[in-house]
Amino acid sequence: MKFAFWILLCFYGLLVGAEPQVVYLTWTQDPTSTMTIQWHTAPGDAQQLTYITKNAARKTVESKFHTIEGADVNVHTVHLDGLAEDSVYLFKIEGSETEYKFRTLPKTLDRPIRFAIGGDIYYIRNNEVFYKKNQMIADQDPDFIVAGGDLAYTKGEKQFLKGRKWEMSQWQGFLAGQQSIKGKDGRMIPLLVIVGNHDVAKPKHKTPHPDMFFEIFTFPELKKAYRCLDFGNYLSLVLLDSDHHTRIEGKQTKWLKKTLEESKEMPYLLTAYHVAAYPSRNPYSDKIPVKLRMHWSPLFEKYHVPCAFEHHNHSYKRTHPIKNGKIDASGVTYLGDGSWGVEPCPVKSPNELWYLLKSESINMCYIVTITKEKCLVEAKNVQGEVFDKVEFLPRS
């Protein structure tokens, strides 16, 4: 019966439409029981998505969609809930011949959880590295990916006058690259995005159009990129906005304090954002790093966050554990520094900056593996070689 259904759906797709331009997954709610599926098409009507549940029943959901003005693209969104934990689901999109699959996450750490994290990703002059890095990540068979800002380099002085269609082409280039990252069983990998300075417009570059970043990606709250996702009973992942769309101080810092307090019983509590509090290349005295160290670092220390993932510097770094502005074994380790697909930049050495333990001008990202015993963070180059690693124990 299942086979006949898919044959019928394929035939129907040949008659009524074309393949989506890109398809991508994320979570706005519980990763163990939900999935948010998004795709792009030419302007038109809502489309249906049909998926097979764990008990082999099929369900059909109609997409919510909006048109991105000036780019001639519809963004469709379907949110699925009530899913079984740690289970694979198949789905098809109306008009498509392709069968996609995804996997929810487990509620408990009965198996290792693995994710990739890196930033400064789809830079047009370094496309070859971008795709090689994507393949390296796919080889790790991750459960999800965290993209740490400056995803498609659509905003800035050089991009200001290029137009909405060019901007959409950049976003779709980034998303197509993410779509190419498949698990070993062929499943799609959910993507959690962080906002960076090249993802949203500065005030002097604002136009009547909304930032495309918020038109393409969906979040728990409208146009609020900072949020926390709880993974079962083992991980709270706090994703922050380092002064790009929401100010660091004030409302976001109050939210962060409340969130860290509510997550204090989680064995693992990790944070990630774009601009580095402890940069490996950019000035230590820059405005945003100073604000990060003033408002967020004390909270990380108070609530025993073992490490913070930072980006923006286009290089690799690992700091000493830091507490109260000094090297302290009980402090926070800052890991970075945003070199997924960009050209690596010259980096300061540990001899030049007191807080650096290691640094290197290299393309890399982190592969994080969480088990009941430890959190293993491995820095891997384009070839998938581990050139640095650090371990953190679960919080007691």
Segments making up each domain of the chain, as ranges: 2-103, 113-392
- Residue 192, C-beta contacts closer than 8 angstroms, at least 6 positions apart: 26, 27, 144, 145, 146, 147, 229, 237, 239
pLDDT at 207: 77
pLDDT at 6: 41
Ranges of the chain whose pLDDT falls below 50: 1-16
pLDDT at 205: 73
CA 212, 218, 223: angle at the middle one, nearest 5? 65
Q: 2-103 and 113-392: same fold?
A: no
Tens digit of each residue's pLDDT (9 = 90 or more) over 239-272: 999 999 999 999 999 999 999 999 999 999 999 9
Contact indicator for 100, 6 with CB cutoff of 8 Å = no
pLDDT at 4: 41
Q: What's this model's pTM, rounded to 2 decimal places?
A: 0.94
pLDDT at 300: 98
pLDDT at 105: 98
Tens digit of each residue's pLDDT (9 = 90 or more) over 159-194: 777 889 999 999 999 999 999 999 999 999 999 999
Residue 391's CB is within 10 A of a number of other CB atoms, namely: 12
Superfamily per CATH, domain 2-103: Purple acid phosphatase-like, N-terminal (2.60.40.380)
Exposure class string for 355-372: b at 16+ Cβ within 10 A, else e: bbbbbbeebbbbbbbbee
Exposure class string for 184-214: b at 16+ Cβ within 10 A, else e: eeebbbbbbbbbbbbbbbeeeeeeeeebbbb
What is the CATH code of the structural domain delimited by 113-392?
3.60.21.10
pLDDT at 293: 98
